[in-house]
Amino acid sequence: MHINDLQNTNVVPQMRNRRILAVDDDPTILELFRRTFVYKDSWLSEFAELFDEQTQEVEMVFDLSTALQGDEAVKLVKQALDDHDPIAVVFMDVRMPPGIDGLEAARKIREIDPDIHIVISSAYNDYQPSDFRMVIFSHLYFMRKPLVLAEVEHMAYNACFSWNRNQLLQQELNNNIAYQSWLGQLFEDLPMPIMVIDVDSYQVLMSGGSYQANSVTTCYKLRYGRDTPCDDSLGGCPIEKVRESGSPSMTEHLVQGESGGKHNYEIHCAPIYSHGNDLHQVLEFSMDVTERQYRLLEKEAQVRQQKQLFDTFRSTAHTMKNSISYLNGIVDHIAAIEDRPGELGQLLSYERMELVQEQVSMIQTLLLLALKNAKGDANKVTALQVRKKTNEALSLFSISTLGKGKTVELTMPAEEFCVHISSIDWQTMLINLLNNAADAADQYLVERTTDISPDNLIELVELQEKSMITLNVSQQRDRVYIEISNIGTPIPIDILPTIFEQGYTTKDVGNGVGLYDVRQILKQARGDISVYNREDGVTFELYLPIVDCE
């Protein structure tokens, strides 16, 4: 039975305990109690078929026991508890000579059974109710003699009802405490951080795993030590997403670790609805997916390196194809020259053979270089020397199509230091960023020269000679920071968050993988990249952890 069931009068007879003990040294008073309860019960049972079901249900039926002395009452209460059939209500007289009085009997009964309800009934005024309250403490009632049958029955009804209600409340409380204890232990033993959160106050109602809340706190305080809910700098508030959609959500949070590295977390949030179908709580758990993302990045790096291998071999194959075509033509000429008599034919034949040998030697050299670069450097991640490899990348950039004629102002420490990355990835990363800076500088020059009058030669010359691209390499504690800046038009604010996404490009040609590849290379090497506008241009800032060059 649920506690709410007792609010319905039609289920009153279903109260489990209707046991009453009447204690009085006057047999006449005990007979009054028997007339009130036992006789009525017997009378109803004999004529039950004459009354409809509803009439029987609203009648209160009690189980009566009696005692003439206080000591006898104490024994009956104790025996009832030992039999697991407790008495709900005791009607206790005060003066019961020659035995103990009602106050002493009530005190002993209360020590035996703290839940029993005690009704004190007396015709004398030589006691104070406070005397009983100091001994019995609770579940205490008073009635004056002479007793009125209707009042006795009503008092018995109320006291029994209260006893049964208290027992149900205690049972529900015990069940709830046991459930909370079980649930709390379950939360504590979970291998992942988990919380139950109130959607209105963000208060953590229950937590487990590595999130152990010792006091009332909010989810953002417990997880990140913040004083305000999570904003876009972390990845947004998952509770707000659930509130908006009404369905489970997953949010990625990028968190700076104590050692300086960044950790990626998946925050999973599920709604908890009340009986009225109102969203009032969420269940939230998080998973550190940093290592999983690194493994995905490793796979991407392998795919990218295989693509570089393919491109290298394709380029080599193209060169070899042209050389072989030339060799085929030479062979035809040799065959024709050998048919000619004389020294001229022999001379031509000898020169042609030398050309053939040169072509074969070139093919062998190209093949060896391709194999060495593609199979060796492409897949070999070592402690790369930053100064040396940066200068090599700048040399390649200066002779490339996009880099021709572009000067890069370089600032770099004198000492050598290393990072953990492959040579091809380092070269790809720097040249992609330098090419991007060169494109922006070219566009800026076109716009500026269009605005400048041809007559203003001095301004045109200064603009052409101005260093448009800068590369700044610095070492800060255990990291190397690289800034690649260009003079040009700032990037629109709404575009800044998307320029590293795969496939995004603002150019008429290209597939938009350059900056995406750069970020993937850096993440694979435990680094990252960001971009910000300056007053006269754009700067890309990237970092990598420094490693031992050995």
User: Can 190-288 and 381-547 be said to share one CATH topology?
Assistant: no
Strand partners, 140: 118
Cα–Cα dist 50/58, whole Å: 15
45-98 pLDDT per residue, tens? 444 444 444 444 435 578 899 999 999 999 999 999 999 999 999 999 988 889
In one-letter notation, the amino acid at residue 64 is: L
Q: Which fold has domain 3-173?
A: Rossmann fold (3.40.50)
Q: Which residues contact 217 (CB under 8 A, 6 or more apart)?
A: 203, 204
Q: Which amino acid is at 475?
A: Q
Q: Give the pLDDT confidence score for residue 327 in this predicted structure.
A: 66
pTM over 0.75: no
Burial of residue 163, with CB atoms counted within 10 A of its CB: 0-12 exposed, 13-18 middle, 19 or more buried: buried
What is the fold, at CATH topology level, of the domain defined by 190-288?
Answer: Beta-Lactamase (3.30.450)
Provide the residue ranges of all domains of the chain, joining segments of one domain with +: 3-173, 190-288, 293-377, 381-547
Q: How many residues does the chain have?
A: 550
Residue 82: what pLDDT?
92
Query: What pLDDT is stored for residue 338 in this prediction?
Result: 53
Secondary-structure class of domain 381-547 per CATH: alpha beta
With a cut of 50, list the residues of the chain below it in pLDDT: 1-13, 39-58, 401-404, 509-512
* HEC profile of 390-458: HHHHHHHHHHCCCCCCCCEEEECCCCCCEEEEEHHHHHHHHHHHHHHHHHHHHHHHHHHHHHCCCCCHH
pLDDT recorded at residue 108: 92
Q: Which stretches within 60-128 are classed as H helix?
A: 70-82, 102-112
